[in-house]
Chains A and B, each alone.
Chain A
Amino acid sequence: MATIVGAITTSHVPAIGGAIARGLQDEPYWKPFFGAFGRAREWLEEVKPDIAVVVYNDHGLQFFLDKMPTFAVGAADEYRNADEGWGLPTMPPYRGSAAFSWHLIESLVADEFDVTSCQEVLVDHAFTVPMQLLWPSGCPVATVPVLVNTVQHPLPSPTRCLKFGRALGRAIESYEENLRILVVGTGGLSHQLDGARAGFINREFDQMCMAKIVEEPDALGAYSIPELVELAGTQGVELLNWLVARAALGGRVSRIHSNYHVPISNTASGMMVLEHRS
């Protein structure tokens, strides 16, 4: 059977991709962010995943507002990146695993999560930037994009995302092949790009979330979406992707590594490496 080797959560803002493209990782502005990924890469070398299930939100590359699925799952053998309009280099295609994806979709729907299945997904920076951070010289694993609507309200509640994550975990672990699966949750932490409150950051709330997500993720289920918007910012609601990834891991977890740094671009950056605790 497939096993979940752990979860990595990380910010995904386009400026990270821009810094990678310009080779700025060791600049004083960026070092406190990029420096944290060495330990994550060492851990990946140890746990050797075969597939990464990447939980993220699209930002208007794949989905327009004509149809907006709450939860969507990629079901292809390849995923392409494309121009998003503001200058990031387009990344080479990512390998998928349609057979594994369809198993996830069948299991999730049987588990009462009626996801949108997608035989084509254009993956945006929220997928490609984390893959670049984890594997700078190219993504060696197959991938499954799992998309959560954090763009157009109503958004799924934190409680719903925790339940979805648990169902995703059950789906992964019921796959018959002996594959090693990494779950990645991208986005956050607190930030707001739009409105007169642009530049909003909430260090205290972020750090509380990073603590609770390890020991007591259900406590974060108590927040409503409007409360999350107020406390984390209009884009800080990407915390939902972290909740899905954490819940997929299930049970008790250990924090292998974590980092929190303000600011990168307009964002409070966070990353965590989590694995099962026996």
Chain B
Amino acid sequence: MKRRQIPGTTVFDGAQARKGYALNRMCYSFNDAANRAEFLRDEDAYCRRFGLNEAQRAAIRRRNVLELIAAGGNVYYLAKFAGIFRLDVQDIGAQQTGMTKEAFKAMLAEKGK
């Protein structure tokens, strides 16, 4: 089936879900505060335990959302990773669009006018 291409958008389909399974499974574990603490205590060991591939490990290390999505990450699970660093969806939005958070929020506010 031919896929519709939408600029700046990755549809989280079966291919992405397969590619990102280990990464998303690790992020799903961050629902639990003890796991978030364990990740912070020894990030390398935690990532190894979930079997992240090199691209996923690098993207986690770089805290880079676009790279995490390219590596199969789903934003709802990635949000739990971001939560470890007290980052919200507006921080994530700013990072992905190359804006400051203030500029990203101003862009959204402008759409309300």
Residues of A at the B interface (CB closer than 8 Å) are 13-15, 59-61, 64-66, 82-87, 151-154, 192-201, 203, 226-227, 229-230, 234-235, 261-263, 265-266, 268
Q: State whether A263 touches B111 (Cβ < 8 A).
A: yes
Shortest CB distance B96–A (Å): 5
Q: State whether B4 touches A230 (Cβ < 8 A).
A: yes
A229 / chain B contacts, CB cutoff of 8 Å: 4, 6, 9, 11
Q: State whether B6 touches A197 (Cβ < 8 A).
A: yes
A234 / chain B contacts, CB cutoff of 8 Å: 9-12, 75
Q: State whether A199 touches B108 (Cβ < 8 A).
A: yes
Given that A85-B83, A86-B88, A197-B9 are contacting pairs, would A152 and B109 also be in contact in the complex, using a CB cutoff of 8 Å?
no
Asked if B51 is at the interface (CB within 8 A of a chain A CB), the reply is no
Asked if B74 is at the interface (CB within 8 A of a chain A CB), the reply is yes
Given that A60-B80, A198-B92 are contacting pairs, would A192 and B9 also be in contact in the complex, using a CB cutoff of 8 Å?
yes
Q: State whether A195 touches B66 (Cβ < 8 A).
A: yes
Q: State whether A65 touches B74 (Cβ < 8 A).
A: yes
Q: Which residue of A lies closest to B87 (CB)?
A: A86
A86 / chain B contacts, CB cutoff of 8 Å: 79-80, 82-83, 88
Out of B11, B28, B104, which one reaches A199, CB within 8 Å?
B104
A200 / chain B contacts, CB cutoff of 8 Å: 8
B contact residues, total (Cβ < 8 Å): 49
In the complex, the number of residue pairs spanning A and B with C-beta atoms less than 8 Å apart equals 137
Shortest CB distance B92–A (Å): 7
A201 to B110, CA, bound (A): 11
B53-95 interface (Cβ within 8 A of A): 65-66, 69, 74-80, 82-84, 86, 88-90, 92-93
Given that A65-B17, A194-B96, A263-B109 are contacting pairs, would A151 and B12 also be in contact in the complex, using a CB cutoff of 8 Å?
yes
Given that A65-B74, A193-B75, A198-B97 are contacting pairs, would A265 and B4 also be in contact in the complex, using a CB cutoff of 8 Å?
no
A195 to B68, CA, bound (A): 10
24 pairs, CB–CB < 8 Å, chain A vs chain B: A60-B28, A64-B25, A65-B24, A66-B25, A85-B36, A85-B84, A86-B83, A151-B12, A153-B11, A154-B13, A193-B92, A194-B96, A195-B66, A195-B69, A196-B66, A199-B97, A201-B111, A226-B6, A229-B11, A262-B111, A263-B108, A263-B112, A266-B89, A268-B111
Asked if B40 is at the interface (CB within 8 A of a chain A CB), the reply is no
Asked if B50 is at the interface (CB within 8 A of a chain A CB), the reply is no
Given that A15-B88, A60-B28, A226-B11 are contacting pairs, would A83 and B33 also be in contact in the complex, using a CB cutoff of 8 Å?
yes
B32 / chain A contacts, CB cutoff of 8 Å: 83
Q: State whether A153 touches B13 (Cβ < 8 A).
A: yes
B107 / chain A contacts, CB cutoff of 8 Å: 199
Out of A61, A197, A261, which one reaches B8, CB within 8 Å?
A197
Shortest CB distance B102–A (Å): 13
Shortest CB distance B106–A (Å): 10
Shortest CB distance B26–A (Å): 11
Shortest CB distance B24–A (Å): 6
Q: State whether B13 touches A152 (Cβ < 8 A).
A: yes
Residue among A195, A201, A235, A262 with max Cβ neighbours from chain B (10 Å):
A195
Which 4 pairs, one residue from A and one from B, show the smallest C-beta to C-beta distance? A86-B83, A197-B8, A196-B8, A85-B80
A108 to B8, CA, bound (A): 38
A194 / chain B contacts, CB cutoff of 8 Å: 9-10, 65, 69, 75, 78, 92, 96
A66 to B77, CA, bound (A): 13
